[in-house]
Structure 1
Amino acid sequence: MNMFSTAKTPSERRQALRAALAAEPIVRLPGAFSPLVARSIEEAGFEGVYVSGAVVAADLALPDIGLTTLTEVANRARQIARATDLPVLVDADTGFGEPINAARTVTELEDAGVAGCQLEDQVNPKRCGHLDGKEVVTTEQMVRRIGAAVSARRDPDFLICARTDAAGIEGMADAIDRAHEYAAAGADLIFPEALHTREDFEMFRRAVPDVPLLANMTEFGQTELLTTRELEEIGYDAVIYPVTTLRIAMGHVEQALWEMADAGTQAGWVDRMQHRSRLYELVRYADFNVFDQNLFTYRPKT
């Protein structure tokens, strides 16, 4: 038993993601900010893991304005992909530069063992998709970005997701036109960012009927939170919850720290903590213990 890598190869996980997108039900990808969270996502029965650029930035105490580097994102993605047999989809922002940078981004993320990456059509450096003041590149520039990414992948099953932020800037008609252009350029999955209502999601699906679509159910943004059943009824193929686990964790961390500072003890939070025994289950402590007890690395000379 290899406890330091997954049971499934990167190729197998990429194939699994493509198969899931082509079938029913909808593919659910909660965001993971650490390998341990990714393992929890797998044990909870989800179909995939999402690595949000906003979350990687936030975990480094940085705003989501294009400050993170390819190295930082690829390293976090590699750590997360190592910890789960689920396919991992990584937010690669604008590809970290020009089309040639997007090509290198795909190569690095392929080497990291993830199942695919998402590229967006914002101007570099980007900003959070649910904030005002965004700008998008021309359709032609984004098509070049996608083309470079597609040409750089060595595994044809590595998935390229194209996100468009155009709906809130140029209007829904432009976002729909871009979706068709991006799919024609080789994008496997289209992600219309910051749609507002169920009616918006329905309109987009009707206008783009033959391409897999991804919905973003992020909190505190511009999008009405729809259930997986509603998204399936509309015809979406995947849904991400990019920042949810980080917000849950940080909400509790901050509350607990304030109460500890006031009370002088963490005792009031013990019943709300993850128990030591559960943590040991997630990190597979027992397996490592057995492995160590049966491994002989040194024999004294006789």
Structure 2
Amino acid sequence: MAPDTLDVVFPSDEALSQRFQSLKTGYVKHRWTLNGFIEYARPILAKGKWNVLALGSAANSDDVWCLDSRGTLSLAVGKETYEQLGMVGSKLPWKPKKEMHIIRIPLVNREYADKIQASPDLFTPYSEKTKTTLVAWDAKRVDATNQAIIPQVRRALSVRVPQLPLSTVPPTPTSEGTEDWEEEVSALFEWVGLASLDSQRLRANDRVDPYLAVYDPPLQLSVGDVMCIRWSGLLSPSFVQSVLNIALANDGSFIAVTGQAVTNSPVGYISPLPPVVLPALHAPTKDGEDTWSLVLTAPAGDNRDAGAKHWMLVESIGPYDARLG
């Protein structure tokens, strides 16, 4: 699915900040029947516009559903709801989630399901019977409201800023060199997280009691101003790509982009490749962990070709995601 929080951190640059702030996005918050939403979405999907994203839940229940960019509706339901619906679903493999099932309903056409390299029995076709069954899952429909997503812009003055570029691979094949590189990379991403939180620990004049907090910044640093721009809400993949496009076109020292995904969703990561495989099973959790952080920096010295970028990406994934194995 898509992130619900996106942070961009970079050395203070007003022109770059304005380019990020010029991006517009938003979403619609609507309370209606699930079948009502399906009838709304199917004509759009039939036109080949697979950029409809939605996340919803049943009233007074932990059951949730989502429509992803593949045009597939996925329901995550507990034992009672699963038995009432009588649909085919995939049981989650984790013991704490053993009574939850994922039900997949392609809203585009059956040919899509047949193209996926998995048993067709893992899918429930959207039929009149399915439509009737889902009525029991529905809540009352009320008017929709548009939710504009306004970026929050913060400027941190006189903070300790790491010196980049940093090699994206260990500089030497020795175990000692690899260990030093791993420590530098770990310190860099720790700094990115603290910058996104506007942490006092990054201030050049920070004098915190070591008994209260201890922070060791990256060894190579300077003092300067840093900007952080945050978008919060249901963000589409196309919007995230627009943010990345601006970051990739930047000629500055570095940019860090961090996305926190919607964890209360039946679908987690979806491969950008053609839809030929099912996404890994993912258990919706309200307080789950699914975060990625990308650092972009221009190569140093003679390797600084026009437009070239070095990059590093880290992910933090919760225990209920089959991508972990």
Aligning the two structures, in what range does the TM-score lie when normalised by the shorter sequence?
A: under 0.3
TM-score by structure 2 length? 0.21
TM-score by structure 1 length? 0.22
- Bigger relative contact order (CA 8 A; separation at least 6): 2
Higher helix share: 1
Higher strand share: 2
